[in-house]
Every structure is written in C-alpha cells, then in structure tokens.
C-alpha cells in the first residue's frame, strides 16, 4: 500500500501588486500547467490562478 502524501491545505497568500508581479505569476502558472492532481504543485497553481484572477478584476476596474 502506498502511503498518502500530506499536502498543505493552503499556501502562503499570493499578492500581485505590480505588472512585474503579474508577469512572474503568469510565468509560474505556465510552468505548473499540466501538473498532477493532488500534489503541492496543484495547490500552488490554484493559489496563483486565484491571485491572477483578482489582479485582472482590479486592473480592469481602473
């Protein structure tokens, strides 16, 4: 039997404050696309995607 891997339920909050932050987050998202489900990479991908979506909403409201 393969032991279950403990995954973090959450990751450190991701805050995008500048265009450079946004670019770096996009690059990391691109690297993580296609990651395996139920991995730390998936948790990170979800957090980054949520932060990116929040940034886009704020950006287009200006």
Q: Measured between alpha carbons, how far is 33 from 59 in angstroms, rounded to an integer?
A: 23
Q: Is the pLDDT of residue 2 over 50?
A: no
Tell me the C-alpha to C-alpha distance, in Å, between residue 39 and each of 36, 50, 61.
Answer: 6, 17, 34
Does residue 10 lie within any of the structural domains? Answer: no
Does residue 2 lie within any of the structural domains? Answer: no
Percent of the chain with pLDDT over 90: 68
Q: Measured between alpha carbons, how far is 56 from 50 in angstroms, rounded to an integer?
A: 10
In this prediction, residue 1 has a pLDDT band, given cuts at 50, 70 and 90, of very low
The pTM of this model reads 0.79
Domain that holds residue 41: 19-61
Does residue 13 lie within any of the structural domains? Answer: no
Q: Measured between alpha carbons, how far is 26 from 48 in angstroms, rounded to an integer?
A: 8
Does residue 5 lie within any of the structural domains? Answer: no
Look at the alpha carbons of 35, 56, 26, 20 in this order and tell me if their dihedral is positive or negative: negative
Q: Measured between alpha carbons, how far is 7 from 55 in angstroms, rounded to an integer?
A: 26
Residues 32-54 have pLDDT tens digits of: 999 999 999 999 999 999 999 99
């Amino acid at each position: 039997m393969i032991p279950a891997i403990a995954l973090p339920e959450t990751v450190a909050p991701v805050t995008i404050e500048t265009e450079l932050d946004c670019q770096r987050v996009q690059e990391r998202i691109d690297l993580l696309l296609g990651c395996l489900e139920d991995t730390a990479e998936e948790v990170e991908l979800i957090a980054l995607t949520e932060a990116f979506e929040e940034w886009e909403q704020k950006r287009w409201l200006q």
